Structure 1
Amino acid sequence: MKYVILIHSNPQPWGHPTSDYLDAHKALPADVRARLQGEFNQVMTELSANGELLGGEALGDPTAARLYRWRDGDPLVSDGPYSESKEHLAGFFLIDVDSQARAEQVAARFSGPDETVELRLLMWPGGDDQ
């Protein structure tokens, strides 16, 4: 089963890893920050070793985004990000795991202070869930 783990964040200034730019993360004691970084490295190593990690990328500053919406029969282009959003998509990881329970276990390990992690099942062409 393939899932995408979407990392939503809003660091100011924008940078990666996003946690390094979030006040709540920077306020944690150094040993806690080191532990969290170690846990992240551990899950990445585990996913790679298991063949569960298919890929992932950090995304650039949302202020450089271009938004395309359909209006009056034509695409309408505007500068990003979505003005009503407090959090923006910071990056993603694509995983292939045996079950939803495993996907949830992995996604929980990606969460951190002031970030939201979204887990979404991928769909095959035609709209059927895998």
Structure 2
Amino acid sequence: MKYVILIHSNPQPWGHPTGDFVAENQALPQEQRASMNAAFDKLLGELQANGELVGGEALGDPASATVVRWKDGEVLATEGPYAETREHLAGFFLIDVESPERAGDIVRGFAGPGETIELRPAMWPGGES
């Protein structure tokens, strides 16, 4: 079963890892931040070693985005930022796991102060997830 882990954040300035640029994370003691970063690096290493990590990417500043929509029979391109929200999609990871429970266990390791993490099943042609 494939799942996408979506990381929503609003680092200021925009940068990665997002936690380094999020006020809620910056407010934590340095030792706690270092421990959290080490735990995340360990999780990524384990996912990679056991074949559950398919891939992932950090995303650029929403101000550099272009949104393309279909409007009144024409393609309309608009420069970003475009979301009417405080948080933007900052990055994603694609995982391939045996069960929804395993995906739930993994996604908890992605949560951090000042960020919203979304776990969503990947959907393949034919409507099956």
Per the normalisation by structure 2, the TM-score is 0.96
Task: Tell me by how many angstroms 1:83 deviates.
Answer: 4.1
Rounded Cα–Cα distance in structure 2 between residues aligned with 1:25 and 1:101: 27
1:55 aligns with 2:25: no
Task: State the Cα deviation string for residues 39-71 of structure 1 (Å, max 9, x = none).
Answer: 101100110111100100101111000011111
Secondary structure of the residue aligned to 1:13 is coil
Letter in 2 for 1:50: N
Letter in 1 for 2:67: L
Match of 2:82?
Answer: 82
Task: Tell me by how many angstroms 1:82 deviates.
Answer: 2.2
| Percent identical residues | 60
Match of 1:115?
Answer: 115
Secondary structure of the residue aligned to 2:44 is helix
Match of 2:6?
Answer: 6
1:34 aligns with 2:34: yes
Per the normalisation by structure 1, the TM-score is 0.96
1:71 aligns with 2:71: yes
Task: Tell me by how many angstroms 1:125 deviates.
Answer: 1.0
Secondary structure of the residue aligned to 1:106 is helix
Letter in 1 for 2:78: S
Q: Which runs of 5+ in 2 are unaligned?
A: none
How many corresponding residue pairs? Answer: 129
RMSD: 0.9
